[in-house]
Amino acid sequence: MKLFMVEPTVSDLPNSIAWYTAVLGLTLTLMDDAHGFALLEGAAGRISLKLGTVRAGGVRLHFEVADLDGELTRLAAFGIRPVSQLKTSAEGYRRAVLHDPDGHELLLFEWVKD
């Protein structure tokens, strides 16, 4: 079994598509205006956006990055900053938590190099 995609509900589909493509660099691969659905892809997989009522705490997306500090610098140009202090886990990774336009948590992480 293989995970095909993750689907957070969004309140403004065009705004969310713009955010995920501009900020995270995903590519829009399918748009279904009639059903309020968009499919985006990146190197690591797919995310679909579904127009509807957003539920608080509904989803947390995890993105592995090669250079966490570099990615945070890039995101700062969009005015996006972590919502909490960076953490280093006992499992061997560093992470930062961000929010998308609907408040969904995005966790960016990099493996700590020995």
What confidence tens digit (pLDDT) does each residue in 8-35 have?
A: 999 999 999 999 999 999 999 999 999 9
* pLDDT at residue 4 in the model: 76
Q: How far is CA 32 from CA 4, 37, 63, 73, 103, in A?
A: 18, 5, 25, 33, 23
5 versus 99: the higher-pLDDT residue is: 99
Please tell me what DSSP assigns to residue 31: E
Given pLDDT bands bounded at 50, 70 and 90, which one contains residue 55?
Answer: confident
pTM of the complete model beyond 0.85: no
Q: Look up residue 90 and give its amino acid.
A: A
**SS3 assignment, position 1:** coil
**Class assignment of domain 9-111?**
alpha beta
Residues 6+ positions from 32 with CB-CB distance below 8 Å: 38
